Structure 1
Amino acid sequence: MAGQQPAPTISRLLNLVPDAPEQVLSLLSAHPHLASEQDGHGYSLLHAAASYSHLPLLRALVQAYHVSPDITDEDNETPLFVVESPAVAECLVTELGANVSWRNDEDQTAEEKIEAEGDWPLVAAYLRSAAGGGNADASAPAATAPSENGVDGVRVPPPLPPNVRIDMSTVEASSIDESEAPDPEFRRRIEELAARDDFQGEEGQRQLRELVTDAVTGLAADGQRRDVRRRVG
């Protein structure tokens, strides 16, 4: 028929995810089979939605189109491996049932890989608490000792103490979409605070609460996104 639009492909939908997730949802309503499609590298719409922090698309893919939250790419990595925001990690784990213990082809969990790369310490801290503490609530991660393993000499910070609560539901999606790697000053401050003798004391926890609140609500610093994100198009 003249003027009829060609059927969309998974490549087209993946290209639309970063800037037009609403259009992806519109196209999926007419072409639902594409929800679980993957490109030549196993990259899926769920990976893309997790990486770009598009929560409505993420929820729709799992809840409406029944895509597995543990769908894997060619490296045997689920969407948790490409998350850049604690709020998205929390959504995948607590709402959508993603497996925090899943291991990729390098025998790493998402938390281990993200921690080793060092770009998203808050995501690593949340995943660590969800995996080890039996409590996947990002507002109250379990306290553990700081890791001595780091990247470029920077120790990965510990999760928050039990009485430090950050309400992830108050983070606007628009601010999450712009999340970038924490700047060196933020990493220096959280490393310095974690090393203090009074870290578990009232003053140390107060300063940690302020620092993490600032980071969660304003992590959109200049920088490059993680290399793990696929280039599409």
Structure 2
Amino acid sequence: MAATSQSQTSNPFLLAADNSPSLLPLLRSDPSLASAQDEHGYSLLHAACSYNHLDLLRSLVNEFHVNVNLVDEDGDTALFVAETLDCAKILVEELHADISIRNIDGKTARETIAEDDDFPQVAVYLRVKELEAGIPQTNGVAGPPVTNGQGPPPLVPEGMNIQFGEMVPEEELGEVVDPEFRRRIEELAARDDFQGEEGQRQLRELVTEVLRGEVTERDVRRRTS
């Protein structure tokens, strides 16, 4: 029993899942553990993202220099398991995770998350970042092979400066972003209760509609007629 307890308290994957205060001292005593992967390629980065331990995520990349684009046996980086908008933004905007990486199924993190339909805000955020980077929407069409390289995604095209929650000008995107989505999200963002429970509920409903293709030009005409 004592041996089992000792094994659990020194297992970095269990410590990462629990966000244990013992993990960072363990990693500092043996920094090679920070990049360790199990037999399936699961890493501490994947654990930190999956459990939304954001300070641990930052420490792994910034202090221990773990490759933010480390992939598991399925070709999934940590971004593929991000379940919150905060986690996705830290990965992409602070730690420069590559949003264009495709797994062994030929799908990006955005495509995988959108397909699962569990975290629509993360999927919509990643789609906006794809638009900023000029990455076309392929919806699972096989693309470049999986890579484990480092470096930020392509730069935003000149003259385009977008924050999540603001829509890209239609002339920059053509028909990529539905104008009804743009109108409705701008209305939501202008509401006093946007950050409150009701505003966030309506935002979740809106992004779910967008991902399912339910927002159309017909909605614009119906609401404005």
TM-score computed with the length of structure 2 as normaliser: 0.63
Question: Which is higher, the Rg of structure 1 or of structure 2?
Answer: 2
1:191 paired to 2:182: no
Report the counterpart of residue 17 of structure 2 in structure 1. Answer: 18
Report the counterpart of residue 34 of structure 2 in structure 1. Answer: 35
| Offset at residue 27 of structure 1 (A) | 1.4
| Offset at residue 161 of structure 1 (A) | 4.7
Task: Summarize deviations over 1:13-50 as a string: whole Å, max 9, x none.
Answer: 11122223432122112121100010000000001101
Report the counterpart of residue 118 of structure 2 in structure 1. Answer: 119
Secondary structure of the corresponding residue to residue 22 of structure 1: coil
1:130 paired to 2:129: yes
The amino acid that maps onto 2:45 is: L
Task: Classify 1:92/1:21 alpha carbon distance in 2 versus 1 (closer, same or farther; 3 Å).
Answer: farther
**Counterparts of 1:78 and 1:161 in 2: how far apart (Å)?**
32
| 8 Å Cα contact 2:40-2:72 kept in structure 1 | yes
| 8 Å Cα contact 2:13-2:44 kept in structure 1 | yes
The amino acid that maps onto 2:166 is: A
| Further displaced range: 188-197 or 107-116 | 188-197
| 8 Å Cα contact 1:142-1:160 kept in structure 2 | no
Aligned counterpart for 1:140 among listed residues 132, 154, 166: 166
Task: Classify 1:65/1:162 alpha carbon distance in 2 versus 1 (closer, same or farther; 3 Å).
Answer: farther
| Offset at residue 124 of structure 1 (A) | 0.2
Which is bigger in relative contact order (C-alpha 8 A, separation at least 6)? Answer: 1
**Counterparts of 1:108 and 1:189 in 2: how far apart (Å)?**
20
Aligned length: 172
| 8 Å Cα contact 1:21-1:54 kept in structure 2 | no
The amino acid that maps onto 1:52 is: Y
Report the counterpart of residue 108 of structure 1 in structure 2. Answer: 107
| 8 Å Cα contact 2:48-2:54 kept in structure 1 | yes
Structure 1 unaligned segments of length 5 or more: list them: 147-156, 171-181, 202-233
5 Å matches for 1:167-186? Answer: none
Report the counterpart of residue 179 of structure 1 in structure 2. Answer: none
TM-score computed with the length of structure 1 as normaliser: 0.61
Structure 2 unaligned segments of length 5 or more: list them: 133-155, 170-175
Report the counterpart of residue 88 of structure 2 in structure 1. Answer: 89
Identity rate, percent: 37
